[in-house]
Structure 1
Amino acid sequence: MTLPFSPINAATDGPLYRQIYLRIRQSIADGVLKPGDRVPSVRGLASELNLARGTVESAYQLLIGEGYLIARGPAGTVVSPQIKLPESGGRAVVVPETVPWSEHTGSMPLPLQIGLPALDAFPSKVWNRLAAREMRQSGLHDLIYPDPRGHPPLRAAIAGYLGVSRGVACSPDQVFICAGYRASLDLICRSVLRSGDACWFEDPGYLMARRFLSNAGMKLLAVPVDDDGLDVEAGITMDANARFALVTPSHQSPLGVSLSLSRRYALLDWARAGDRWIIEDDYDSEYRYRGRPLPALKSLDTGGPGRVLYTGTFSKVLAPGLRLSYLVVPQEQVARFVETADRMQNQCPRLLQATLTRFIEEGYFARHITKMRSVYADRRAMLADALSAALGKRAQIRLQAGGMHLLAMLENGLDDGAIALRARRLGLSVQALSTWYAGAASKQGLLTGFTNVRSSEEASALSRTLASAF
């Protein structure tokens, strides 16, 4: 939108950036700019006022720092939705954000949000062309009740992909298509678990899974994670007879470590010793920036009745809006899971499944993964360098072997929760590491997504904003 600016007076009205700051703030107070309104880009406003971009950026950073504006990356800069205008006039106030973070908000993501693929790199042209072809070729078979396990050609394509890329030998019959990762967990809980079952859960561990399993009535045991991943011996000491364990062995969420080979075998031995299950969340395993991708834990689950329930999702590698995940179950459990899936009616739209099938079969998926590894490696390096420069000794950036986020460990005395809250008021969606711990011994750190940071200039600007939250 165009702001109601009279000419900027360089001679009498104070610093230029201050004039811009005051006029935008007054426009918000007068109701000309309302909560959620988008303001002009830095480049656009600088051109309109015939000023240097740095002048306008300084004004915007001041407004962002005070909570009047929120920078939303590619979505632009908007007036904070938390602005509250007093009915009787007076200065607008910023209402603090108190809603806990969630990946599933339905609104445009804030900069630095974790768990989100590069939205600007989604192959829209190819995807739309494949979808249009599927719609033209649809027939009577698209009108009948769908297979509760999912679109058969997609299950076959996923089985082939997993065999080559993850070392998971499975048939299409063992693959179930679900409407997102939580739907996969729901199918597992309804098929082989009961409310009140004890679960080994990584500490720190994935928040969404922890909340889901808690709401499902499971008893979660916080098993510590060290440099070798889940401490299996600690889990046995806590409860050797727990019914299942949920692990992220290839790239631990959120610390990024890998479960060592000896612990993988120890975990499998524990599961085989009783009627126990291992839920393997193959968390963003496609993205590894040094060394070769590690084989899945499921690839070691051979020589007897399988104990690993293997889950993966296309939300991290393509787009979360697809709501497509998959679950691979042992052959002995297929009938039980089919019965549960049929009762749940947990189907995804056939058009999305058929389009994804073509995307995989025609080689686009493999090429997309290869491209994004290079893109993410560059974006990760840009943000890591910018954060190091902006935060200095206050944070140590840990470059993990893979994944889609950076972990910044904070120096002693800093409160990651307070910093994350202030950062959110500044329009950044960083996460406090301490909130991912369920036990008492939590560490202080910040989790930042880098996948949607498209330039070194953007990385520097976001890092400076984050530094102002310390």
Structure 2
Amino acid sequence: MSASRFSLTLDLAGAPYYRQIYAHVRDAIAGGRLRPGDRVPSIRGLASALGLARGTVEAAYDLLVGEGYLLPQGQAGTRVAEIGPHAVRLGRARAAAPAVALPDPRAVRPFQLGLPALDAFPHALWSRLTARRLRDATRLHDGYPAPAGDPRLREAIAAHLALSRGLHCAPAQVFVTAGYRHSLDLLARTLLRPGDPVWIEDPGYPPTRLLVETHGAQAVPVAVDDDGLRIAEGRRCAARARLAVVTPSHQSPLGVALALPRRLELIAWAAASKARVLEDDYDGEYRYQGRPLPALASLDREGVVYHAGTFSKVLLPSLRLAYVVVPQPDVARFEATCAAFHGGCPQLVQEVVADFMLEGHFARHVKKMRGLYARRRAAVVEGLQAVFGARLRVELQAGGMHLLVRLQGRTDDRALARAAQRAGMGLQALSDWQHHHAVEPGLLLGFTNVADSAAARSLAERLRAAWRL
């Protein structure tokens, strides 16, 4: 069967290409246009016919194989699997679902924040590593996962942080969690009491305030300027705060880095006040001018900084895997909290991530993504400037996974964001990230899943149409 049998036309500004290919093949099977035993085009052949990278088609095929629609048969090619009449009927029902069906929470919208490049994930390698682990007969005797994390993964994270972030820690200081929210929850359960003041950045990541207040603590918004969190203002507002939550490498959302004098001032304040600092290093790997900045925790000689990282921005959000590094004196307290409140993260996922890191794939993947994101960021900036010209200002920073833009003469960024969202795009208003201090209106655009210059230009045109400019 040739690629032309698919009659597939890609929407440049729609869902990622691999999701479009996946949906088309799945619906063709459900609708009977592809029958069990039919051979589908090779990855190389379909990629060539559609003008895509092999990895994009490979990602779509991996999903179809994983869900049982396709069956790889080596030299015999890839064929439609015998999925049974019930599965076909279910697929047809899905294909014919009315427009009021629940939205797919995994659907990726153009300019959506917080997502890595899903089309560049090494699906084939990941499948091999996962299959190897599943073939290990000893896994049948596994009990519950360790509450603090798999020992090999904790070792791998510690080794990675020493090399990439200048942070030297023992594996026992690394606690594996199910995401940033879980990391902050772990800290709050261990360190905070009801009524404790907590510094949060303003503007800053909205869930941080919600999580702090859920634990009964008092969130204290502290303004951010070009040098990062204003420590002097924090002291004026709540000198006896118990915790400060910061994003020092790439402030979320403004993108500035916390200046070295303020880093030292923050650590000194925490040590003198017997407070603690949570460093949220959510995308510190991605810096396009020079090397990634050392972690704030690498400067800490007082034992007051907790370093939180995540695999959501480097690998996949669906892994639900992150970590927090705690100072050595606090290890026993955090172990007790984990034992009481944390059942551990899925063991198989931890094992595969550990293999991915220890065999050198993680470092290579980060390096590859850093180059890819630099190109995609440049393409999006070029597309926006070509369409909007001087009416739109892009505030480029040294790193990160999103852009901050300002539209001349338009001060209601929430209205602009709503208009873009109605047009199917995922950008956000900067004003929705402010807590107390007023900010200059702006818009936050993720660029990691904008494949190339053509897609960037098309999306910029969609934005202009949505804003009626």
TM-score by length of 1: 0.78
> Which residue does the alignment assign to 2:430?
433
Distance 1:400 1:454 in 2: 21
Amino acid at match of 2:294: P
Contact persistence 2:202–2:222 (CA under 8 A): yes
Q: Distance in 2 between matches of 1:146 and 1:114?
A: 31
DSSP 3-state at the match of 1:273: helix
Task: Confirm or deny: 8 A CA contact 1:288 1:402 kept in the other structure.
Answer: yes
Secondary structure in structure 2 of the residue aligned to 1:468: helix
1:408 to 405, 408, 412: 405
Q: Equivalents in 2 of 1:378, 1:430: separation in Å?
A: 20
Distance 2:214 2:15 in 1: 32
Q: Using the alignment, how far apart are the partners of 1:42 and 1:130 within structure 2?
A: 33
1:412 CA drift (Å): 3.9
Measured after TM superposition, the shift of residue 309 of structure 1 is 1.1
Aligned twin of 1:171? 170
Q: Which amino acid aligns with 1:213?
A: V
1:298 alignment partner, SS class: helix
Contact 1:199 1:243 in 2 (8 A): yes
In the aligned structure 2, how far is the partner of 1:143 from the partner of 1:288?
Answer: 40
Distance 1:172 1:166 in 2: 15
Distance 1:426 1:149, change over 3 A: same
The answer for the alignment partner of 1:3 in structure 2 is none
SS at match of 2:385: helix
Secondary structure of 2:249's counterpart equals coil
Where 1:401 maps in the other structure, the secondary structure is: coil
The answer on whether the counterparts of 2:246 and 2:280 sit within 8 Å (CA) in structure 1 is: yes
Tell me if the contact between 2:109 and 2:426 (Cα under 8 Å) persists in the aligned partners.
yes
Q: 2:354 aligns with which of 340, 357, 361?
A: 357
Match of 1:230 in 2: 229
Asked if the contact 1:71/1:426 (under 8 Å) is kept, the reply is no
Structure 2: distance between partners of 1:287 and 1:189: 28
Distance 1:256 1:139 in 2: 46
Judge conservation of contact 1:179–1:325 (CA < 8 Å) in 2: yes
Provide Cα deviations, 1:95-141, integer angstroms capped at 9, x if missing partner. Answer: 9xxxxxxxx98331211101100000111111111111111124168
* Equivalent in the alignment of 2:369: 372
Partner of 1:72: 15
Q: Secondary structure at the match of 1:262?
A: helix
- Residue equivalent to 1:109: 108
For 2:14 and 2:139, locate their aligned partners in 1 and report how far apart those are by CA, in whole Å: 48
Q: Which amino acid aligns with 1:130?
A: L
Match of 2:329 among 318, 332, 336: 332
| Cα distance, 1:390 vs structure 2 | 1.8
Matched residues in 2 for 1:270 and 1:167: separation?
22
- In structure 2, what is the equivalent of residue 219 of structure 1? 218
Counterpart Cα distance in 1 of 2:442 and 2:134: 47
1:399 to 382, 391, 396: 396
Asked if structure 2 preserves the Cα contact closer than 8 Å seen for 1:190 and 1:340, the reply is: yes
Taking the aligned partners of 2:319 and 2:445, their CA distance within structure 1 comes to 23
Distance in structure 2 (CA, Å) of the matches to 1:142 and 1:187: 29
User: Are residues 407 and 186 of structure 1, via their aligned partners in 2, closer, same or farther at CA, if it must alter by over 3 Å?
Assistant: same
Q: Residues 311 and 419 (structure 1 numbering): CA distance in 2 closer, same or farther, change over 3 Å? A: same
Does structure 1 residue 342 correspond to structure 2 residue 325?
no
What is the distance in 2 between the residues matched to 1:202 and 1:438? 9
What's the CA shift for 1:42?
5.2
* Residue of structure 2 equivalent to 1:64: none
SS at match of 1:318: coil
Residues 1:158 and 2:157 aligned together: yes
Structure 1's 427 and 41: CA in aligned 2 closer, same or farther, altered over 3 A?
Answer: farther
Change (3 A) 1:105 1:225: farther
User: What residue identity is the alignment partner of 2:296?
Assistant: L
- CA 1:314/1:142 → structure 2, altered by over 3 Å: closer, same or farther? farther
Tell me which residue corresponds to 2:464.
467
In structure 2, relative to structure 1, the CA distance for the partners of 1:443 and 1:42 (3 Å cut) is farther
Q: Distance in 1 between matches of 2:305 and 2:16?
A: 40
Name the SS of the counterpart of 1:139 in structure 2: helix
| Structure 1 residue 369 displacement after superposition | 0.5
SS in structure 2 of the partner of residue 221 of structure 1: strand
Report the Cα distance in structure 1 between the residues aligned to 2:131 and 2:20, rounded to whole angstroms.
31
| Distance change >3 Å, CA 381–CA 375, structure 1 → 2 | same
Give, as a single letter, the amino acid of the residue that structure 1 aligns with 2:218.
K
Q: Distance in 2 between matches of 1:73 and 1:268?
A: 43
Q: Tell me the distance in 2 between the aligned counterparts of 1:233 and 1:338.
A: 34
Look up the SS of the partner of 2:282 in the other structure. coil
Q: Distance in 1 between matches of 2:190 and 2:137?
A: 33
Paired with 1:137 and 1:420, the residues of 2 have a C-alpha distance of: 49
RMSD (Å) for aligned C-alpha atoms: 2.3
CA distance in 2, matches of 1:450, 1:372: 12
Taking every aligned residue pair, what percent have the same amino acid on both sides? 50
Give the TM-score of the pair, scaled to structure 2. 0.78
The structure whose residues are more often helix, as a share, is 2
* CA deviation vs aligned residue, 1:140-175 (integer Å, no higher than 9, x gap): 685223221100010001001101111111000000
In 2: Cα distance, 1:458 partner to 1:265 partner? 43
Q: Which residue of 2 aligns with 1:146?
A: 145
Q: Distance in 2 between matches of 1:168 and 1:228?
A: 22
Aligned AA (1:425): R
Residue 420 of structure 1: aligned partner: 417
**Shift of residue 227, structure 1, vs aligned partner:** 0.8
The answer on whether the counterparts of 1:142 and 1:350 sit within 8 Å (CA) in structure 2 is no
Instruction: Specify the code of the residue in structure 2 equivalent to 1:420.
Output: A
**In 2, distance between residues paired with 1:241 and 1:268?**
14
Q: How does 1:299-338 map to 2 (within 5 A)?
A: 299-302=298-301, 304=302, 306-338=303-335
Q: Does 1:293 align with 2:292?
A: yes
The residue type equivalent to 1:307 in the other structure is: V
Partner of 1:458: 455
Change (3 A) 1:43 1:190: closer
Specify the code of the residue in structure 1 equivalent to 2:288: Y
User: Counterparts in 2 of 1:191-210, with a 5 A limit?
Assistant: 191-210=190-209
Unaligned 5+ segments in structure 1 are: 1-39, 45-56, 58-69, 79-93, 96-103
In 1, Cα distance between equivalents of 2:460 and 2:139:
54
Asked if 1 retains the 8 angstrom alpha-carbon contact of 2:145 and 2:345, the reply is no
- CA separation of 1:404 and 1:359: change in aligned 2, threshold 3 A: same
Aligned partners of 2:161 and 2:168 also within 8 Å: yes
Greater Cα offset, 445-454 or 432-441:
432-441
Unaligned runs of 5+ in 2: 1-6, 24-98
Q: Give aligned pairs, total.
A: 383
Cα deviations across residues 285-331 of structure 1 (Å, max 9, x unaligned)?
111111221100000111x4x11111000000000000000010011
Contact kept, 8 Å, 1:179 with 1:346, in 2: the verdict is: no
Following superposition, the deviation at residue 76 of structure 1 comes to 4.7
Mark the CA change 1:437 to 1:446 in structure 2 (over 3 Å): closer, same or farther.
Answer: same
Paired residues of 1:184 and 1:311 also in contact (CA < 8 A): yes
